[in-house]
């Protein structure tokens, strides 16, 4: 019984870790793409609209 609970807890922890990693990876990719769009001269408002992120977040990437 304890082994089963331990294995279940480990599996849940791994699943949460993978999910967190995927979310973080998506965030990093969005930042990378937004920075590239900024370097190409796209307007902040266009990037914000396309990414679904607030303009302030896109503006912060300029620095």
Report whether 35 contacts 61 (CB < 8 A): yes
Q: pLDDT value at position 31?
A: 94
- Give the pLDDT band (50/70/90) at residue 44: very high
Give helix then strand counts, H and E, for the chain: 3, 0
pTM of the prediction?
A: 0.74
Task: Tell me the C-alpha distance between 21 and 15, whole Å.
Answer: 10
Average pLDDT over residues 55-61: 96
Can you give the pLDDT at residue 8? Answer: 85
> 41, 32, 40: which is closest to 61 by C-alpha?
32
What are 5-36's pLDDT values in tens digits?
788 889 899 999 999 999 999 999 999 999 99
- List the domains of the chain with CATH numbers: 2-60 (1.10.10)
Asked if pLDDT for residue 1 goes beyond 80, the answer is no
């Amino acid at each position: 019984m304890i082994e089963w609970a331990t294995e279940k807890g480990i599996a849940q922890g791994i699943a949460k870790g993978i999910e967190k990693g995927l979310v973080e990876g998506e965030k990093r990719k969005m930042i990378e793409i937004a920075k590239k769009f900024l370097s190409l001269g796209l307007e902040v408002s266009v990037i914000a609209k396309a990414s679904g992120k607030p303009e302030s977040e896109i503006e912060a990437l300029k620095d």
